[in-house]
Amino acid sequence: MLYVLENGCKWRQLLREYGNWHTLYTRMNRWSKKGVLARVFARL
């Protein structure tokens, strides 16, 4: 997610090293809806 934000790329353009773009997008979207990302960023 930070890579996407930092580089301004689309999810589909993620490097293969990070895994399947759709899996990552789905996970980040689910975490966002559950408040997980808000808690992570609050701790950072």
pLDDT score of 29 = 92
Do residues 4 and 14 make contact, with C-beta atoms less than 8 angstroms apart?
Answer: yes
pLDDT score of 13 = 82
pLDDT score of 6 = 76
Tell me the domain boundaries of the chain: 2-43
Do residues 3 and 14 make contact, with C-beta atoms less than 8 angstroms apart?
Answer: yes
How many angstroms separate the CA atoms of 44 and 42, rounded? Answer: 5
pLDDT 10s digits, 16-38: 898 999 999 999 899 999 999 89
pLDDT score of 5 = 74
pTM of the model: 0.69
